[in-house]
Structure 1
Amino acid sequence: MPDRLVVLYRGNRPPATGLIERLADTVYATEEELPYLLPGADALLAWVTITPAIREAWPDNPEKAPRWVHAASAGVDSFLFPALVEDPGVTLTNSSGVYNEPIAEYVLGLILALAKDFPGTWEHQQHREWRPHQSETISGRTALVWGTGPIGRAIARLLRAAGMQVCGAGRKARTDHPDFGTVHDSATLHSALAEADYVVLAAPLTPDTRGMVDAPVLAAMKPGARLINVARGGLVDEEALVGHLAAGRLAGAALDVFAQEPLPAESPLWDMPGVIVSPHMAGETMSEREGLIELFLDNLRRRAEGLPLRNVVDKRRGYVVDSNPPPL
């Protein structure tokens, strides 16, 4: 049992607090309370993950810092600050796996909404206007999924099942990937962008990927293509994206994440034709909280029994690299 587990929450505490408390000496902290409760804790469950509070509350003395941090999210960019990354005694785990299918379903829904112009149909309905119009088919269209981790693979499988042609973009090129078939690296990325009708971002936000969808990448995309981002807003140069959308070079975009969240009211993205804005909810489902806590409890039991943890993050790369042991 950890000497002390701090649970960082905002608004509502996680479910199954009774189970957590039976397995660990548990205290609960808001973001404001964290600086007072984190020093000396053995473990941290970050039920809130997109926050500067963890970085700001992290003890200056490494001996006072937690030895294990678990993120209730797949993305861990908020945790990749030097004091945590450079301390070899701190293990970081995430919630990879919980969001795979929900985000894949959301991406398919966004592609269908764009291709069938559901937003336009709903707008006509609000005005009681009867306007039949032709829509696009997605069968046979090409989707480039940028990010070949578990979420990207789930997206690829679902889009392929819907009849789309799918390829991937990642660190290493290959032609025999079980979900993507072809995976492009930087050497062939621009040629792949030129062929893709939809570019789907599913990569983690790391120092290497921040701003990766910049003006040259957008210019390399196929005229009339659409961009979908369900990863992190920091992957995209939003000013360059607005420019390409305004010029009509891209047909549209579906954006669930943004450089600044909530998206400022003055952002032109709110009103641009062909753009769908959603409030960072691609992975949120009615069963999300239960899945997140089940994974954390599994790891909490593993740690108490000295077993390998699931979803150990390579802190230098910013994502899970090695295969995980099965659930208990």
Structure 2
Amino acid sequence: MGPVTTLTVLCGDLKPPGMRDVEAAAEVRYTGEAGLAEALRGADALFVYDFLSTAVPGAWHAADRVRWLHIASAGVDPVLFPALRESDVVLTNSRGVFDDAIAEYVLGVVLTFAKDFARSLDLQRESRWQHRESERIAGKDVLVVGTGPIGRAIARLLRAAGMRVTGAGRRARTGDPDFGTVHASGELPRHLPWADYVVAVAPLTEKTKGLFDARAFAAMKPSARFINVGRGELVVTADLITALKTERIAGAALDVFETEPLPPENPLWTMENVLVSPHMSGDYLGWRDTLGEVFAENFRRWLAGEPLLNVVDKKLGYVPGAV
């Protein structure tokens, strides 16, 4: 594999940090969505730093030499379109950057629900002293749907807090070091009724799209809370809204949505039993620097002809492993 001479970086106005060594070794073309097609002509590799962009499929016709595409996220669905899937282009992601931060977010919203922090803040603003009792989280049952690195980090942290955690993944198994028991996600409705908290963190594939629909929410206990830190398209939003309005489930914490930004008129914004955050559960201080470091290391490996990190199986839609 010869050295890369031209690298296109889809970044908009915000360029990735830590690119000095990369710029010294290649011609780097920084571009926004409008100039992507032109910047792809003659390029050997593409770095999708703007990982929320959906511009790559429409510009791909100009990618006449690209052999490697790296995306600055764990999810690869924005770039896993048919032409790329069927090509010989190597796809890598930024797996590992967000694991612990997202796990902390999940623990945080679990505690927010259990300790009724949102209500405490409302009462504080009203200068009202209203004593309440809160829930314990120790001993509560959690089902983590998605058993990749992020799901495993969530399982470890919630277990450390005294919660009982099992997983749901591509294949059922026992004796898993982080989950103990892993159920098959294809049989999800069978395993939802006992969970106090259901955490969605599965990769978005044809099999997981719309996984949480009316049937899934109907299978949950009325006291269950649903947390989505995976992909918005894992959920049929209308079915979730109905489940919340009818108190089929007790609440939801949502960091990702089918449409982002979440439209102002969406009822999720104003529901008392819903926590909304703007796709930020993995974004900690310094995360952009870490993304730049991950790409720079893979770029060094590319130039040296060494095996790349985080190579995605384009048929599966994620880096192979125990999921």
Cα separation, 2, equivalents of 1:282 and 1:10: 22
Alignment of 1:104-253 (within 5 A): 104-186=103-185, 188-253=187-252
Shift in CA distance, 146/25, structure 1 to aligned 2, threshold 3 Å: same
The partner residue of 1:14 within 16, 19, 32 is 16
**SS in structure 2 opposite 1:83?**
helix
Indicate if the aligned counterparts of 1:151 and 1:202 stay in contact, CA closer than 8 A. Answer: yes
Indicate if the aligned counterparts of 2:217 and 2:248 stay in contact, CA closer than 8 A. Answer: no
List structure 1 runs of 4+ shifted beyond 4 angstroms.
none
Query: C-alpha root-mean-square deviation of aligned residues, in Å?
Result: 1.3
Shift in CA distance, 170/301, structure 1 to aligned 2, threshold 3 Å: same
**Which blocks of at least 5 consecutive residues in structure 1 are unaligned?**
324-328
**SS in structure 2 opposite 1:172?**
coil
Cα separation, 2, equivalents of 1:189 and 1:261: 26
Cα separation, 1, equivalents of 2:231 and 2:189: 21
Q: Counterpart in 2 of 1:83?
A: 83
Shift in CA distance, 186/53, structure 1 to aligned 2, threshold 3 Å: closer
Shift of 1:23: 2.6
Shift of 1:18: 1.6
Higher relative CO (Cα under 8 Å, sequence separation at least 6) belongs to 2
Cα separation, 1, equivalents of 2:280 and 2:299: 27
**SS in structure 2 opposite 1:28?**
strand
User: Identity of counterpart residues, as a percentage?
Assistant: 53
**SS in structure 1 opposite 2:275?**
strand
**Which blocks of at least 5 consecutive residues in structure 2 are unaligned?**
none
Q: Which amino acid aligns with 1:227?
A: F
Cα separation, 2, equivalents of 1:284 and 1:192: 31
Shift of 1:190: 2.4
Shift of 1:191: 3.1
1:197-239 deviation line (CA, Å, top 9, x unaligned): 0000010111111101011111111221010000110000110
Shift of 1:65: 4.4
Q: Counterpart in 1 of 2:59?
A: 57
Shift of 1:283: 0.4
Cα separation, 2, equivalents of 1:188 and 1:239: 22
Shift of 1:175: 1.2
Q: Which amino acid aligns with 2:226?
A: L
Shift of 1:322: 5.2
**SS in structure 1 opposite 2:316?**
coil
Q: Counterpart in 2 of 1:269?
A: 268
Shift in CA distance, 185/124, structure 1 to aligned 2, threshold 3 Å: same
Cα separation, 2, equivalents of 1:134 and 1:9: 48
